[in-house]
């Protein structure tokens, strides 16, 4: 797998799925609507600062709340290349993997907004170039790495001939 390079956008604990994408925007199949409104209630200026490939960094319990897949999808479509958190809500974590958005749990590792970050997706090594420090994320099971490498669960199943079409 490849390296992800991007600028960090750092937020706190308990960011729920409604803060990621407000519920009023989830009743559409237009993915650009998700991208246009990602994190708007938490940080109204986020979309204007976001550049494709940037990395979202959060504290504990990121993605708590509802189980809808639109939350990680909104981040991915908006251009976020990966999410780092001390702890993810389990359903968010799995939904992110299923749609091909890399997510990594890290312990207390100093990252600040606008730091230049590189993530080695395969090894889980995270380098903060702004501080010249590196940390290791918690290991991810091989099947989840395979799903990420395939671009998401549907692509993984198609690649492995486990996809049934009626």
For the stretch 59-87, pLDDT in tens is 999 999 988 889 999 999 999 999 999 99
Q: What is the mean pLDDT of the chain?
A: 91
Q: Are 52 and 102 in contact (CB under 8 A)?
A: no
CB atoms within 10 A of CB 153: 19
Tell the residue number behind the tokens 């958005």, with chain if given: 101
Identify the pLDDT of residue 30. Answer: 85
pTM: 0.92
Ordered structural domains, the chain, with CATH:
3-159 (3.20.19.10)
Q: Is residue 42 pLDDT above 80, yes or no?
A: yes
Using DSSP's 3-state secondary structure scheme, residue 39 falls into coil
What is the average pLDDT across 15-29? 90
% of the chain residues with pLDDT over 70: 96
Q: Is residue 161 pLDDT above 80, yes or no?
A: no
Q: What pLDDT band is residue 103 in, cutting at 50, 70 and 90? A: very high
Which residues are CB-neighbours of 91 under 8 A, at least 6 positions away?
63, 67
Q: Is residue 111 pLDDT above 80, yes or no?
A: yes
Q: What is the C-alpha separation between 96 and 94, in angstroms, rounded? A: 5
């Amino acid at each position: 797998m490849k390296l992800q390079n991007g600028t960090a956008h750092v937020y706190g604990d308990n960011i729920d799925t409604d803060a990621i994408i407000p519920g009023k925007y989830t009743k559409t199949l237009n993915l650009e609507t998700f991208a246009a409104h990602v994190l708007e209630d938490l940080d109204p200026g986020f979309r204007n600062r976001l550049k494709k490939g940037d990395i979202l960094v959060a504290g504990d319990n990121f993605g708590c709340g509802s189980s809808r897949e639109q939350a990680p999808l909104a981040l991915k479509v908006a251009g976020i290349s990966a999410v780092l958190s001390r702890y993810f809500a389990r359903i968010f974590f799995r939904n992110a993997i299923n749609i091909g958005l890399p997510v990594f749990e890290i312990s207390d590792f100093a990252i600040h907004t606008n730091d230049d970050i590189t993530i080695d997706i395969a090894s889980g090594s995270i380098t903060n170039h702004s501080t010249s420090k590196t940390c290791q994320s918690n290991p991810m099971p091989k099947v989840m790495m395979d799903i990420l490498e395939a671009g998401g669960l549907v692509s993984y199943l198609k690649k492995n001939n486990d996809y049934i079409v009626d």
